[in-house]
Amino acid sequence: MTEPEMEMALISLDLADELGGQEEGERGWHTQQQHRSRSRHSCTSLFSTWRMLLSNEGSLDYMLILAEQEHSEELSKLEQEEGEQKIMVNIAGLRFETRLRTFSQFPDTLLGNPYKRMKFFDCVRNEYFFDRNRPSFDGILYYYQSKGKIRRPANVPLDVFAEEIHFYELGAAVMEQFREGEGFIKEEEVQLPVNQTHKQFWLLFEYPESSGAARGAALVSVSIIVVSIVNFCLETLPEFQDNRELRDSTQPANLSQALESSSQHNIFSDPFFLVETACIFWFFAELCIRFAACPSKPEFFKAIMNIIDLMSIIPYFVTLITELVQEQQEADGQQQTTSLTILRIIRLVRVFRIFKLSRHSKGLQILGKTLKASLKELGLLIFFLFIGVILFSSAVYFAEVDEPNSQFSSIPDGFWWAVVTMTTVGYGDMCPITLGGKLVGMLCAIAGVLTIALPVPVIVSNFNYFYHRDRENMEKQCITITDENAPPLSEGSFHTACSLSHTRLGCSGSSPHTSPSDLETQSC
């Protein structure tokens, strides 16, 4: 005979008193099955207080009794761990309600850390009270709900919102994100030498505003640069020239005349050379000191200002060596082999030292940044001019080709005229004669105005941008509020800021960080 199909039920032993009259029958059934249960495997449930009951009565019923009272506290804790607990925040009378997991995403902040926010808990009203700016909290709450996006409400000033970021301890990384979103230029990190002596010399020559001695060194450097430029210009005056070029181009009749000429025009007795030597001594000493004290030797010569300093020194030594070689050749009666054109080009490079003033001039630095940011527009301008020059020089040549007195003998001869006309300079050294040539000249002038006018506003806009950013440097420093105690947030939590007015504020679904549930109650 087949055994009746058994019924399985789960029951808590702690709730046996709630089963009523079924308890006696189940006790008798357990007595009958005690011997049989020894010969088979025991059945247990997932919970330690549950036991498997088998019924051999004829009916096929399945009953599952859930012990809700015993496990109600465990279920409540599970809900809290999932971040379902709600939290009330009162900002100067304006209440905000959100879930605990919204703040728990950032445990290093004031609202995300239960130990930090505990002192603001009001046990009477069961809420957190902050006597802070109410409109700013829209942006603070949005930061938590958007998983790290910071955005200032339109009606909140910059300095007020920056102070709120500092108060709620969002961190220095969030402050940088806020500043970048508001359009402020990120300050470059200043790398300083580790050695204290090197650091003092580096600040002395590289940062004029660092101390009074640095300002004095900068003043001396600017004065020497001006003296060097004035000396470079004055030595070209007719009354100060030493007939060096005439001596180089004319060979003496005999050796005695050569020696006499060489002694009369000795370079070491030239006052301009002596002034140049004194200036070069300062430039060379300054460059060597800055190179010895710089924090990174490979990066030193990558800086454009250091390249300019080097270019302003090299021509002096090249000229000095050339003059010494020439004097030796003249003394030996040899013919001069150095090209005057090369010497003039080398001397011309000395004029580049005027750019050394940009190290001490904010205006020149702004101009350099503008040109660097406008390289694309400048290239576009040159490309337009190139097309116009080719087009109109060809047109004016064919318009004037039948004119005997025409000044345009070929298309390359018209390049100069086209450039001068398109840039609206108009020297008048070349001009068309025929009616067709004049018509081409008129179109060339109009096209030049339009060509130059198109990219110029972009260049001017870049200049205004850098100029106003430099003027707003003091204001930018005033709102630079960073929290050095709070560690920076992870890079993965940063995203591009978007407008609050176009974003629906909702709770995030990230994994929560659990905290003691009775922490706020203990603070009472």
Residue 141: which CATH number? 3.30.710.10
Query: Based on the domain organization, do 225 and 346 belong to the same domain?
Result: yes
Residues 16 and 142 in one domain: no
Task: Supply φ then ψ for residue 50, to 5 degrees.
Answer: -105, 150
Measured between alpha carbons, how far is 233 from 304 in angstroms, rounded to an integer?
25
Q: Which residues contact 462 (CB under 8 A, 6 or more apart)?
A: 370, 373, 374
| Same domain membership, residue 344 and residue 223 | yes
> What are the DSSP calls for 108-141, one per residue?
TSTTT-HHHHGGGEETTTTEEEE-S-TTHHHHHH
How long a stretch of residues is the chain? 524
Same domain, 50 and 95: no
pTM greater than the 0.85 cutoff: no
Q: Residues 301, 355: one domain?
A: yes
Distance CA 163, CA 218 (A): 37
- The domain containing residue 24 runs over which residues? 7-66
Pair (107, 52) in one structural domain: no
Residue (of 307, 312, 303) closest to 284 by Cα position: 312
The dihedrals phi and psi of 187, each to the nearest 5 degrees, come to -70, 135
Q: Give residue for tokens 């629906």.
A: 504
Give the whole-angstrom CA distance, residue 190 versus residue 148.
Answer: 28
Same domain, yes or no: 141 and 213:
no
| Residues 274, 406 share a domain | no
Unique residue bearing structure tokens 């260049």: 459
**Six token digits for residue 377:** 């527009």
DSSP secondary-structure letter at 93?
T
How many Å from the N-terminal Cα to the C-terminal Cα in the chain? Answer: 70
Cβ atoms of residues 91 and 130 within 8 Å: yes
Contacts of 154 (CB under 8 A, 6+ apart): 501
Domain count, the chain: 4
**Helix, strand, or coil here: 503?**
coil
Task: Give the phi and the psi of residue 99 in degrees, each rounded to 5.
Answer: -90, 155
- Per-residue confidence of the chain (524 residues) as pLDDT tens digits? 444 444 333 334 444 444 444 444 444 444 444 444 444 444 333 333 434 444 444 444 444 444 444 555 555 555 555 556 888 999 998 999 988 888 888 989 999 888 898 999 998 888 999 999 989 999 999 999 888 889 899 888 888 999 999 999 998 888 888 888 887 766 666 678 888 888 888 888 888 877 888 889 889 999 999 999 998 888 888 877 755 554 444 444 444 444 344 444 566 778 888 898 999 999 999 999 989 988 888 888 888 888 888 888 888 888 888 878 777 776 666 655 556 677 777 777 888 888 888 888 888 888 888 988 888 888 988 999 999 999 999 999 999 888 888 888 889 989 999 999 998 888 888 889 999 999 999 999 999 999 888 888 888 998 888 888 777 765 655 544 444 443 443 333 333 333 333 333 333 333 333 333 343 434 43
The verdict on residue 487 lying in a domain is no
Residue 405: give its domain's CATH number. Answer: 1.10.287.70
Is the domain of 241 the same as that of 306? yes
Same domain, 182 and 316: no
Whether 48 is covered by a domain: the verdict is yes
Shared domain check, 350 and 225: yes
